[in-house]
Amino acid sequence: MTAGCKYSTLIVDVSDVLVTWPPNLSPPIPLQVLKSCLDSKTWYDYECGLISKEDCLQLLGERFSLDVTSIDDVWHQVRGSLRPNREMVSLVAEIRVQSGSNLRILGAFNVSPLDYDFFRNRASAERSICNAIYTSAQLGTRMPNLSFFQRVLADENIDPHSTIFMGRNVDDVVTPRSFGIHGVLLKDFDKVRRALRSLTVDPVKRGLDYLRIAAGNLVTETNMGITMMENFGQLLIFEALGDRSLVSLDEPPRRWNFFQGKGILTYDHYPDDLDTTCLGLIVMKPSEEFVHSLIDEMLEYLNDDGIPLTYFDHNTHRIDPVVAVNVLHLFYSYGRGSELKGALEWVHSVLVGDKIDAHRWASTKYVRRFQAL
């Protein structure tokens, strides 16, 4: 189990997840009849090693009025056509590596003794990624029976609450969930991939890996899919991680602008703003003399209530509580918080009134801590 992850074991249904069944099978008997054979108690008993192959075929032939040889031939055709699900095998292998090899992969396989010998003797990718495979033939019981999962949990001495089970059908997932196992349904591959990565790989590690891979190109994307390189997000990343190599900053000689270059989805000549400037001064840490000169300039951009404007623009009298917090943070960091009493009172009233979601920008807008207040 990696730091930040609660799951240490992944149980995978081999036949329904790691194996691909032939899509265009044309057996000499109707497909629905074949499905009924494979879903019968007789076949289940055969998978558990409770009856012989001969007895199984004989009973199926009698029940479905089929020739025994035809059933055997069809099953051999199906068995020989099974192939590894490359997409899922690669994903499980990737998850195992990303977890630092701390994730134990267990296969769960409803399969008869003879058929398992066939699969085991055939080189298979699905077997290579599993630390162990538990079969219905080995345990004398099959999924989704309670007894199957009880045996696996007991033999492996694993905590069900630190275990994930991945299957294709709801019925297969219900039983493991009753033990406290986290069930994942294989319906949509992309969703399964995201779910497994989130459950098994430390999210902090994943985030840092992404930042390093995309270093210098960590663009901002709007909900309309428009991307841009802006300074505010870059400064936040630099502040949080202290790694200048991750970000691309358009560092100005004095005041900061949210955008790098022309404004996007707004005016081309977007005015410099107090929000980004305050963050830039906190993060980049220029000389105190330089910071105080900018603080003096910011005091020229207050409204009649003593609240900082959003922009260095006397013609745009827009105020925002989040911007005010960032300006207060800078002022208090340099011992000048007392010069913004109006802003402090306003921010306090907004927080007390629980109205922080009413500002102009997004509800997820970054709000700086201002412990010094």
Contact 126, 84 (CB under 8 A): yes
Whether omega for the bond prior to residue 144 falls within 30 degrees of 0, making it cis, is yes
Q: What is the DSSP string of 4-26?
A: T----EEEEEIIIIIEEPPTT--
Which residues have a Cβ under 8 Å from the Cβ of 260 and sit 6 or more positions away? 228, 229, 230, 231, 248, 250
Residues 264, 260: Cα–Cα separation, whole Å: 10
Q: How far is CA 370 from CA 313, 324, 332, 356, 357, in A?
A: 25, 11, 8, 15, 18
Tokens of 263: 């404004």
Q: What structural domains does the chain harbor? A: 9-18+83-204 (3.40.50.1000), 22-81 (1.10.150), 214-358 (no CATH)
Residue of 83, 103, 90 lying closest to 192 (CA atoms):
90
Q: What is the pTM of this model?
A: 0.67
Residues 61, 42: Cα–Cα separation, whole Å: 11
What is the DSSP-derived secondary structure letter of residue 283? H
Element (DSSP H or E) covering residue 47:
helix 41-47
Contact 281, 322 (CB under 8 A): no
Task: Count Cβ atoms within 10 A of the Cβ of residue 57 and give its class: 0-12 exposed, 13-18 middle, 19 or more buried.
Answer: buried
Contact 238, 244 (CB under 8 A): yes
Kindly report the backbone phi and psi dihedral angles of residue 176, in degrees, each rounded to the nearest multiple of 5, phi listed first. -60, -35
pLDDT in tens, the chain (373 residues): 555 578 999 999 999 899 988 777 777 788 889 899 999 999 999 999 999 999 999 999 999 999 999 999 999 988 988 888 999 999 999 999 888 778 999 999 999 999 999 988 876 766 789 999 999 999 999 999 999 999 999 999 999 999 999 999 898 899 999 999 999 999 899 999 999 988 988 888 888 989 999 999 999 988 888 999 999 999 999 999 999 999 999 999 999 999 998 988 888 899 999 999 999 999 999 999 999 999 999 999 999 999 999 999 999 889 999 999 999 999 999 999 999 999 999 999 988 876 555 445 444 444 444 433 4
Contact 19, 118 (CB under 8 A): no
